Structure 1
Amino acid sequence: MKNFALIGAAGYIAPRHLRAIKDTNNNLVAALDKFDSVGVMDSYFPKADFFVEFERFDRYIEKIKRQQGVQLDYVSICTPNYLHDSHIRMALRRGADAICEKPLVLNPWNLEALQAIEKESENKVNTILQLRLHPSIIALKKKVDSESKKGKYDVDLTYIASRGNWYDVSWKGDESKSGGIATNIGIHFYDMLSWVFGEVQENIVHLREKDKSAGYLEFEKARVRWFLSIDENSLPIEVKEKQQRTYRSITVDGDEIEFSGGFTELHTESYKGILKGRGFGLVDAKSSIEIVHGIRNAELVNFGEKHYFVR
């Protein structure tokens, strides 16, 4: 049984981490969040200590190590994107491995700094790249790896996750904290694309607004037209008629890849791999972080292959 701490216990994604810790038969020692709406912990670890101030949380971790011999093995990080870097560093300083939600960091150079600290600490930084564990995506990668296709695959990626007015008020609406739309809701797709289709060769951005973004990515084995949005007005008519607020589609050479189900279980699968030493680390996260950094800083252009929602 390994000892865990959780930073960001009141967030949307925290219950998946709580469940993963419990389902892998491990122990949550302490949790931290500046918000105290964390009753969900009762369903998983009601005896875990909880803190709303980082200083008291940090002191407690030190105290139980010195007085009770309780050493943290892992720190799970579910905080806002811009805090990930700092909280990963805290985990490594405490002699624990980090398990951090994506994106690990907002900028490629932050990865380089973490690599140096990881090496000094002899602990490991893990990230959650759950699409790499999805059966449909694994099947797609096996197909791409085994085929000797002439030319490149044509891929269309569309992801619309409608969000209310709260989004702009929260940290997610602040690009300096979230990294913007492409980073906040798209980074796991970019990781999946680079994992399946190889190195990025071209990164063109056609649209970049606060609530939507679109562009073209060329990989070694694929040409990808992508569109991301949190604006419900972007939803196709047939989706609106069903009163659905989310639309997710990936087509490869015109064939739809079905991957809508099974997401909630993939965090537990991620933890199982991490606990066996097979987690995804800093090197694995590099490509997607470089992609979103490029999207965030690229000059908008009006040429090249555009997603059909933009056309």
Structure 2
Amino acid sequence: MKNFALIGAAGYIAPRHMQAIKATGNNLVAALDPNDSVGVIDSHFPDADFFTEFERFDRHIDKLRRSNDEKQVNYVSICSPNYLHDSHMRFALRSGADAICEKPLVLNPWNIDGLLEIEQATGHKVNTILQLRVHPAILALREKVLSGRRDTKHEVDLTYITSRGHWYLQSWKGDVKKSGGIATNIGVHFFDMLHFIFGNLQNNVVHYASDTKAGGYLEYDHARVRWFLSVDVQDVPEAQLNAGQRTYRSITVDGEEIEFSGGFTDLHIRSYEEILAGRGFGLDANRTAIETVTKIRNLEPTGLCGDHHPFLSRSAA
């Protein structure tokens, strides 16, 4: 049994990490969040110590480390806002623990280099949640691409709409300096998936970008990709919207829909199993995706020219 601490216990994704810690037979000994709406802990680890101040949490983790207590922390799971990930991973490594960090790993690629140095200095490791890399449908597609013709490029459309209310832009997620913007906050794991399946990135064009949606074109070794991401419910296709659906997810490869909507609830457990077995995805596995979203954030949109995603014709008109 390994001991875990968790940073960001009141966040949306924290319960999935608590479930994964429990499902893999391990123990959560301490949790931190400035917000004290963390009753969900009782459903998983009611004996975990909880802190709302980082300084007290830091002191507690350090005390466990120095005393060689049986509750000494082996892993720190990081579910905090995106802009704090870098700092919290550094804290984990320097506290004598490995880190398990939610996406996006960091906001800029140069942060990866600094973390690599701290890994080498401490002997501890950063693991990341790249859950689509363990999704059975994505693994099957990757195998199909790898075993197919290598002298061709697939035509791919990626569409992801996950509606958010007015609160979204008022929270840290609406602040590009804290979240990295739409492409980073809701898209980085899809961009990692595209790299994982189709190889190295060759070209990156942004056609449109706003606070709530973005679209562009990416070209990889083995794919040409039109992508569209949105948190605006009005972008959900009419048929799905009329049926009460507020989320729409679609990936087509050469006109064929790739069904991967199921299985998401278990992906964090699967990710933890791989990490605990020593097969987690480390810092460098994230580099291409972080470089991709950093460039998207800084590129000047070209407008609706060239091979743009069809949803942009309606959404960005």
- TM-score, normalization by structure 2: 0.97
Alpha carbons 2:64, 2:73 under 8 Å: kept? no
How far is 1:211 from its partner? 0.4
SS for the counterpart of 1:214 is: strand
Distance in 1, matches of 2:306 and 2:184, equals 22
Partner deviation per Cα, 1:114-142 (whole Å, 9 max, x = no partner): 11111111100000000011111000000
How far is 1:264 from its partner? 1.1
Partner deviation per Cα, 1:167-205 (whole Å, 9 max, x = no partner): 011100000000000000000000000000000000000
Distance in 2, matches of 1:247 and 1:236, equals 8
Structural mapping, 1:8-23, within 5 Å: 8-23=8-23
How far is 1:72 from its partner? 1.3
Query: What residue number does 2:163 align with?
Result: 162
Q: Cα distance 1:86–1:167, how it changes in 2: closer, same or farther (>3 A)?
A: same
Alpha carbons 1:217, 1:224 under 8 Å: kept? yes
Query: What residue number does 2:287 align with?
Result: 286
Distance in 2, matches of 1:79 and 1:206, equals 30
Distance in 1, matches of 2:199 and 2:271, equals 22
Deviates more, 1:83-92 or 1:147-156: 147-156
Aligned AA (2:312): V
Aligned AA (1:160): I
Match of 2:310 among 290, 297, 308: 308
SS for the counterpart of 2:56 is: helix
Query: What residue number does 2:46 align with?
Result: 46
Query: What residue number does 2:66 align with?
Result: 66
Query: What residue number does 2:102 align with?
Result: 101
SS for the counterpart of 2:92 is: helix
Query: What residue number does 2:3 align with?
Result: 3
Q: Which runs of 4+ in 1 moved over 6 A?
A: none
Q: Give the RMSD, CA atoms, in angstroms.
A: 0.9
How far is 1:63 from its partner? 1.7
Distance in 2, matches of 1:64 and 1:241, equals 54
Alpha carbons 2:2, 2:27 under 8 Å: kept? yes
Query: What residue number does 2:250 align with?
Result: 249
Query: What residue number does 2:268 align with?
Result: 267
Alpha carbons 1:216, 1:304 under 8 Å: kept? no
Structural mapping, 1:110-189, within 5 Å: 110-148=111-149, 150-189=151-190
SS for the counterpart of 2:47 is: coil
Show structure 1 runs of 5+ residues with no match: none
Partner deviation per Cα, 1:265-310 (whole Å, 9 max, x = no partner): 0000000000010000101011100000010001211332100112
Distance in 2, matches of 1:26 and 1:151, equals 46
Structural mapping, 1:188-267, within 5 Å: 188-267=189-268
SS for the counterpart of 2:264 is: coil
How far is 1:65 from its partner? 2.7
How far is 1:149 from its partner? 5.0
Distance in 1, matches of 2:121 and 2:64, equals 24
Percent of aligned positions with the same letter in both sequences? 65
Show structure 2 runs of 5+ residues with no match: none
Distance in 1, matches of 2:252 and 2:283, equals 29
Distance in 2, matches of 1:257 and 1:301, equals 29
Distance in 2, matches of 1:99 and 1:197, equals 26
Partner deviation per Cα, 1:215-255 (whole Å, 9 max, x = no partner): 00000000000000001111110111111100000000000
Distance in 2, matches of 1:74 and 1:149, equals 40
Aligned AA (2:23): D
- TM-score, normalization by structure 1: 0.98
SS for the counterpart of 2:311 is: coil
Q: Paired residues, what number?
A: 311
SS for the counterpart of 1:218 is: strand
Aligned AA (1:40): V
Aligned AA (2:311): F
Distance in 1, matches of 2:266 and 2:260, equals 13
